[in-house]
Structure 1
Amino acid sequence: MEQQTNLPSPENIMKIGTGFWASKILLTAVSFQLFTRLAEKKTMKAKDIKNMLGLKCTDRNVYDFLDALTVFGFLKREGILDTAVYSNTLDADAFLDKNKPSYIGGILEMMNNRLYGFWGSLGEGLLTGLPQNEAKRSEDFFGLIYQDPEKLKEFTSAMSGIQMGNFMAFAQEFDFTKYKTLIDVGGSAGLLSLMVAKHNVHMHCTSFDLPPVEPIANATIQQFGLSDRVNAASGDFFTMPIPKADVVVMGNILHDWNEENKVSLMRKAYDALPAGGAFVAIEGIIDDERKQNVFGMMMSLNMLIETGTGFDYTFADFNRWANIVGFKSTSLLPLAGPSSAAIAYK
C-alpha cells in the first residue's frame, strides 16, 4: 500500500505557537549572563552553573534549561545529566559574551526587559493602531530613554547589538573607493562608523545623534583606538540639517516613522550629499513579494508596538521614495541574515 505523504501535520503550528518558550529560554540565559560566565570558565558542570547563578529550582529543571540551550545551538555538552559538562558554541562565544566587542546581547537584554511584555499586547495594537510600550502610560518612550542614563545605555547597546553583523558586512562589502567621508545619522554608540573606518583606512566617519549619546559614542571610539578618523557629533536630525558627507547612513532609523517622515529624512540625506554621493538605509528590507523575509515583517509589527505609525518596507517602497526625492539610481546590498542595505545614489 502506497504511503501518503501529504497528510496535514501540526508540527509547524506547535513550533510557532510555542515559539515564546524558546525565546524566553534564550533571553533568560542572556539576562543571567550565562554565556559570559561560561566564556570565563571555558567549561562547567550543571551543578556548578546552578550554584553560580543561584538557582533554587530542582536539578532536573537546570538540566532542561541547559539542554534546551544545547539543542538550540547555543551550548555544547559532553556527558549527560549529572555528568554533563557545558561550554559555549562558536556563535555564543562570539556574540553573547559581554566582554567581547562583538557582543550583540544588548538587543536581547532590551527584548527581555521591555519588549517581551509589550508584545503581549500585539492584538490591542492591531485593533487600535496605537503603540503598546511606555506610551500606554502617557510616557514618551524616546524622552524617557534620553533622560535616564541607564535606559539610554541599554538602548544604545540594543541598537548596536541588532546591527553589529550588518555593520561588519557593510564595512567590507560596500565599495568605498570613491568616497572619503561618512556620517551615520542616529549613530548610537558609533559602531558603524568604527567598522567602516577599521576596514577602510582612507575613510573619515562621524556618528551623529542626540547630545546625551555623544559621551557613549566617544567612549566606544576610544575603546577602538580610532579617534583619528572617527568622531561623534550631536544634533537633532529632524530640526537641523544633516552635516555634509559623501555617504549618509541610517541604520534602523527610517522604519521608526510614517511614510511622510521617511521621505522627509531621505530628502535631508539628499541635501547633505554631493553629486554621486550615496544614501544608505540598513534595515530588515522586506522582499517585494512579501513571502520570504518574515523577520522584516515581525520588525515592522515591532514598530507598531513601539511607535504606532512606523513600519518596515520593501525595496520597491524605497525606490518609490528615492524617486520622489530625486535620487538618480538605487541598489540593494544583502548583509547579515535578513537585513540589507538599500542604497540611493545622488
Structure 2
Amino acid sequence: MSDLTPSHILQIGMGFFASKTLLSAIELKLFTALARGPMTAAEIAGSLALNARAVPDFPDALVALGLLDRAGNGADARYANTPEGALFLDANSPAYVGGILEMANARLYRFWADLTEALQTGKPQNETKHSGEPMFAKLYEVPERLEQFMNAMSGISAGNFRAFAQKFDFSAYRTLCDVGGATGQLSCMVAAAQPHMSCTSFDLPNVVPIATRKIAQAGLSDRVKAVGGDFFADPLPRADVITMGMILHDWNLEKKKQLIAKAYEALPEGGAFVVIEALIDDERRKNAFGLLMSLNMLIEFGDAFDYTGADFEGWCRAAGFRRFAVIPLAGPSSAAVAYK
C-alpha cells in the first residue's frame, strides 16, 4: 500500500480558501479592531457588521490558520491578535504590511482568476485588458488608487529596505538615488541608518508630493529629497549608489537592459547599482515566491518577468559592470549588487 497522500496537492489547490479568508479579514479591519482588546465571536460580528452565520467559523478559521489566538471555547471564548498579527496586520502599527494585502484583495485576487488565459496568450489580465492603456497610466490616473499602490509597495518592501540599509557597506559612499522611489521609503531608511548619506527618491512628478510628505513625517527632509522625472525619458540623477527596489522586474528584457545602462552612466567609477527583488534562485527550484511573483508580472504586464542573480550579473556585465554580489535580505528577497 502506497504511503503517498494527496494532502499537499489539495492544500495548494484549495489554497485560495485560506488566502481569501485572510484578505477579507484585512478588508474588514479585523486585526485593527482586535488591537483594542480581545473580543468574543458575537462582539466581532457586531464590530464588523457581520451576519450571524459568519461566526464562529470566520474567527475560528483564522485561529486554525495561526492568524488569531483564542482563549477558551464556546460563546464566551475571546479572540485576540497573535504577536505577528499585532505587529504586521494592525493598520495603526508602523510595521503594517496589510497595504499589499489590501491591493491583492482589491486587484490581484480577481486578475489571477485569468492566469490560464495569461499563460496561453502572454497578455496582461489586469485593468489594461479592457482599456488597452498601460498599467501604470491607469494606476496613476486616480490619486487614491496611486496612494493605495504606494502604500502597498511600502508594506511589502519595508523589511527588505531596512535590512539593506543595515547590511550594505555604505562606508565608501556619500550619496544614493533610489530610482522609482515611490514614497521615499528606501531613501529614508538608508538616511536613518547611515547618518553620512544624502539620498534622492526619483519617481514620476505626481508621486513627488506623496514622497515629500512622507519624508517630512520621518524628519529627514534635510538629507532626503524627492525629485520628479521619467526614468526612461530622463537621465538618472548622479549618485554613488543607485538603487531600484522592485522596479527592474516590471519590464521586459529590452527595457531592463535600458535601465541597467542608464544606471551605469549615472554612477562614478567604484559606484554601486543595487536591485532589491525576490530574486529567483539560479537553479529555479527553491524560491517559489520569486517564481510566483514572475507569474504575477505576466498577469500585470505580459512581457515583464522576475529573474535570477545570474541573469542580473550577465546583463550588468554586458553593460560594463565588473564585480557582483548578492546580499540576502528578508524572507525570499535579496539585494543584487553590480559595481562599476
TM-score (ref. length: structure 2): 0.97
Aligned letter for 1:127?
Answer: Q
Tell me which residue corresponds to 2:210: 216
Partner of 1:9: 5
* Partner deviation per Cα, 1:8-32 (whole Å, 9 max, x = no partner): 1101011000111111011111111
Do residues 52 (structure 1) and 47 (structure 2) align?
yes
- 2:292 is aligned with 1:298: yes
Give the secondary structure class of the aligned counterpart of 2:55: helix
Cα deviations by residue, 1:71-123 (Å, 9 ceiling, x for unpaired): 22221111123121111112111111211222111111110001100000000
| 1:95 aligned partner | 88
CA distance in 2, matches of 1:71, 1:206: 45
Structure 1 CA distance for aligned equivalents of residues 188 and 55 of structure 2: 40
How far the C-alpha of 1:167 sits from its partner, in A, is 0.7
Q: What RMSD in Å do the two structures reach over aligned CA positions?
A: 1.1
Tell me which amino acid in the other structure corresponds to 2:145.
K
Superposition map of 1:310-325 within 5 A: 310-325=304-319
Alignment partner of 1:75 is 2:68: yes
Task: Measure how far apart 1:42 and its partner are.
Answer: 2.4
What CA distance in whole angstroms lies between the structure 2 residues aligned with 1:238 and 1:35?
A: 40
CA distance in 2, matches of 1:199, 1:11: 45
- For residue 157 of structure 2, the aligned residue among 160, 163, 166 is 163
- Cα separation, 2, equivalents of 1:90 and 1:174: 29
Amino acid of the residue matched to residue 151 of structure 1? Answer: R
Q: Distance in 1 between matches of 2:256 and 2:220?
A: 32
- Aligned ranges 1:199-278 → 2 under 5 Å: 199-278=193-272
How many equivalent residue pairs? 339
Contact 2:128–2:138, Cα closer than 8 Å, also in 1: no
Q: Distance in 1 between matches of 2:191 and 2:37?
A: 33
CA distance in 2, matches of 1:311, 1:187: 20
CA distance in 2, matches of 1:236, 1:295: 29
Amino acid in structure 1 at the alignment position of 2:153: M
Residue by residue over 1:174-205, the C-alpha shift from the partner in whole angstroms, topping out at 9 and shown as x without a partner, is 11111111111101111111111111111111
Runs of 4+ in 1 over 3 A off after TM superposition: none
Distance 2:30 2:52 in 1: 16
Aligned to 1:29: 25
Identity over the aligned pairs, expressed in percent?
Answer: 57
- Partner AA of 2:148 in structure 1: E
Query: What runs of 5+ residues in structure 1 fail to find an aligned partner?
Result: none
Between the aligned partners of 1:143 and 1:188, the Cα distance in structure 2 is: 15
The 2-side partners of 1:280 and 1:57 are apart by 51
Counterpart of 2:94, as a letter, is P
Unaligned stretches of 5+ in structure 2?
none
Q: Distance in 1 between matches of 2:284 and 2:11?
A: 21
Instruction: Determine the structure 2 residue equivalent to 1:184.
Output: 178
Corresponding position of 1:127: 120
In the alignment, the residues of structure 1 paired with residue 253 and residue 4 of structure 2 have an alpha-carbon distance, to the nearest angstrom, of: 41
Greater Cα offset, 132-141 or 162-171: 132-141
Which residue, out of 122, 127, 136, partners 2:129? 136
